Chains A and B, each alone.
Chain A
Amino acid sequence: MPDRTDLIYAYDGSFEGLMCCVFESYTQKEIPSVIRPPGVQQSLFDTEKWIESDKHKADRVFNSIPVKISPSAQELVKLGFLTCAPHKELLIYHFLRLGFNYGNKVMTMLTDATVCSLQKAVRYLTSESHKFKGFARFSVYGEVLVAVIEPNNFVLPLIAMHFCDRFRSEEFMIYDKTHGMALIYQSQKAELMFVEELTLPEVDGTEAEYRRLWRQFCKTIAIEGRNNPRCRMALMPKRYWGQLTECIVRSSIK
C-alpha cells in the first residue's frame, strides 16, 4: 500500500465512523497519516478526505476482528475508542493493521510500540472507571440521586452496569462534565444521552446534614500519628477532589 504522508481522513467521531475509515483504507489501498474527529482544527493547507459512516461497512470490519484476530482484540479496540489517548483513532487503526497481518499473535506483541500504547491507554481507562465506582458522589434531590463526575476517559459505558445493578430500585443520573454526556436510569431502564449543561437546585437540609456527617467521618477515621498526605494524594489525585464531598472546602459549598 502506498503510504501517503499527507493523507488525512476526517470522520464523524463515532465508533462506526472509525471502522469505516479502516474499511476505506483497505479498499483504497492507502494509509492515512491522520484520522481526524470533528472539532479538531485543520491546518491551513491540508486537505482532508471525508469518510461517511455506513453501518454495513462498519459491521464488516468490526465482525472480522474476532475471526481474523481474536475476540479479545475486538474488546481492546472497543475499549480503546473510549480512552483519552491522543490520536486514539490512529492507534486503533495501526493496531488493526498489525492484527490483520499477524492474527492472534498481535495480542502477545507487548514490545511493539502500537500494541503497548493501546494496552496502556486501555489500562488507564479501566483503572479510572474502577476509581469512579468509588469516587462518584450522589446528592439526593427529592427522590432522585444525581452525581457529577469529571473523568479523563469516557468511563460512563463501563460504570453504567455497576450503578444500575446496585441502585436497581432508585432513579439516578450520572453527569459526565468532561464529555457532556449523562447516564440516566429511570423505571429500571438506562440511557446514555448528550447533556450540554446541568444546573442543579440547592440541596435541602437532610442532604446538607449527611454531607456534614460524611465529612466528619472521613476526618475522624484518619490516625494522626500516621498522617501521610503524599500517599493519600497518590491514591486520590487532586484533580478528583473537585467533585468529592469530603474534599470540598467547607466555605465553598455552604
Chain B
Amino acid sequence: MKIDIYDKLTILSDSAKYDVACTSSGVDRSGKLGSIGSAVKAGICHSFSADGRCISLLKVLMTNVCIFDCKYCVNRFSNDIARVGFTPRELADLTINFYRRNYIEGLFLSSGVIQSPNNTVEQMLKALELLRNVYHFGGYIHVKAIPGADNELIARLGHLADRMSINIELPSQQSLQLLAPNKTKESILRPMGLISTKIQENSTDLVKFRHASKFVPAGQSTQLIVGATPDTDHKILTLTEGLYKRYHLKRVYFSAYMPVAEHSLLPSVNTKPPLMREHRLYQADWLLRFYGFEAQELLDEQHPNFNLQVDPKCNWALNHLEKFPLEINKAPYEMLLRVPGIGVTSARRILTARRSSLLDFSGLKKMGIVLKRAQYFITCKGRIMDGLKITSAGTIRALMTDQYQLTSPNPEQLSLFNEPFITREDVQQCLTGQI
C-alpha cells in the first residue's frame, strides 16, 4: 500500500501532539537575500487549535517507528499502530511550502527511535541540512535531542537548530525506571548538560570570533508529565527550579497526562487529564521566572501540592497577611509584583504613573489595573478602598477562590484579557500562569 503525504502528515502530527512546546521564541534573525525566512524573538502564533493551543511550528515526527517501549507513549514499541516516516525531502518540501504561505514560523522535529539513537539523529540531520543548506531556510527550527545519541551528533543538530529539547517527562528516577525502562536519568541529563555547556561556550566564542556559527541560540527546554505518577507538585516545582538554575533552561513545560494506554502502573484510561493542576504549575513557573519567587516559598514538605481553588500567588499572600496592605504610592516593584491581581505590566505602569502624580483607586482603574483581588491587599494614600469591609482572613480566602473551576469538568485555562503579559507568545499559547 502506498502511503501518500496526506496520510503521513496525519499520522506523524497526531503522534507529535503530546509535546506541548509550541513556541517559536528566543531568537531574532533577519532574512537574507537568496534565502527564505527569519526569526522573531517574541515568537509568533499563526493559529490556534481546537484545544486553544498556539500553532506556531509544523510539529511532526520524522517517524513514529520506535524500538523503545515507554509505557505512557502512543509510539511505544508494543502499541499496535500504523508506522510511517517522512523522507528528508518530503519533510523539507512540506516545511518550505507551509512557510511560504505563512502558515508557520518553522519546524518542530521530533522522532521515534529507529534502529538506534544515533541512526535516528542521522536521519534528522539529513532533513535539517537539506532545509538549511539546500533550501536556504532561515526560519525557526526546534529539534528534539534523542537520549542516548553520541555527543558529536547532538552537537551537529545544535548548529542547525534554534532550540533543542530533551523531555524528562517523568519527574523522578523511580518513575522513569518503572515506566520508561529504556531511559535513565543519566541518558536524559547528560545531553542536557552537554547542550547547556555548548550554549555557554558558544556565547564566549561569538564574542571572540565574529563568524562562529550559533549553537541553539534560542536555548533549550524540556517537558514534565503531570499526573502519570504519584510525584507531588513540590517535587515537580523543585526540579523545575533546579533545571532553570543548573541547566539554564529557557522553558520547562508541563503536560497533564492524557491516558493513552491501559497499564497497571498508570492511571486508568478513563482518568481526566489534571488540567487544573497543570495550570497551577504554570502559574508557579511564572512566579519563579518573572516574579522573583522561590519554589520553597510556594510549597514545602507539609504542603506538597497546590491548592486547586486558590492560585499560588494568592495563596502565598493569604499566608503572609502581615506583609499587607501595601501602599501603592510607596511599595517597591518587587512587592507590587506580590500583590494578587497585579502582574508585571500593571506593576510597571504603576511605577511610571507614580512619577507624575499620587495614585488613588480611581486612577488605578483608569490605568487598566484590575482591582477585584488587589483591593484587599493595597492602600492608596494610606486609605483602603471606599466601602471595603474586611472581616477576617477566612472571608478573604473565600473571596479569592476560583469557584467556577470547581463546577466545570474542563477547567478554564486562563484567557488573559484583563491580564498583562510579558511576551505575547507566552500569553497566546494559553499554557501560562500570569497572575
Contact = CB atoms under 8 A, between A and B. Distances in A.
A244 B47 contact: yes
Contacts of A217: 9, 13, 58, 98
A113 B42 CA distance: 30
Given A111-B366, A165-B31, A166-B31, A226 B275 contact: yes
B357 A111 contact: yes
Contact of B17 (A107, A120, A168, A220): A220
A109 B353 CA distance: 6
23 contacts: A105-B355, A134-B56, A135-B47, A136-B102, A138-B101, A145-B100, A147-B102, A166-B31, A169-B33, A213-B94, A216-B10, A217-B9, A217-B58, A217-B98, A220-B9, A221-B55, A225-B273, A226-B275, A228-B51, A229-B50, A229-B52, A230-B52, A232-B51
A107 B355 CA distance: 10
Given A116-B368, A170-B36, A214-B101, A111 B359 contact: yes
Interface string B235-248: 00000000000000
Contacts of B353: 108-111
Interface of A: 105, 107-111, 113, 116, 120, 127, 130, 133-140, 145, 147, 162, 165-170, 188, 210, 212-214, 216-232, 234-236, 244-247
B17 A213 contact: no
**Interface centre among B18, B33, B52, by most A CB within 10 Å?**
B52
Contact of A169 (B34, B52, B362): B34
Kindly state the interface size class of chain B when it binds its partner. Answer: 35 or more
Specify the main secondary structure of chain B where it touches its partner: loop
B101 A137 contact: yes
Nearest to A166: B38
Interface string B31-47: 11111111010101111
A138 B100 contact: yes
B73 to A, nearest CB: 14
A226 B227 CA distance: 15
Given A113-B366, A137-B103, A227-B410, A162 B58 contact: no
Given A170-B36, A216-B6, A235-B48, 7 more contacts: A110-B349, A137-B103, A139-B101, A217-B9, A218-B47, A227-B51, A228-B410
- Interface hub of A133, A134, A230, A245 (most chain B Cβ within 10 A): A134
A231 B105 CA distance: 22
A34 to B, nearest CB: 24
Contact of A165 (B9, B30, B45, B428): B30
A188 B33 contact: yes
B356 A109 contact: yes
B103 A168 contact: no
B44 A165 contact: no
Nearest to B50: A222
Contacts of B54: 235
B167 to A, nearest CB: 16
A120 to B, nearest CB: 7
Contact of B413 (A219, A223, A228): A228
A36 B205 CA distance: 58
A105 B38 CA distance: 38
Interface string B385-419: 00000000000000000000000001011010100
B435 interface: no
A247 B53 CA distance: 15
Nearest to A130: B424
A214 B103 contact: yes
A170 B100 contact: yes
B193 interface: no
Interface string B265-285: 000000011010000000000
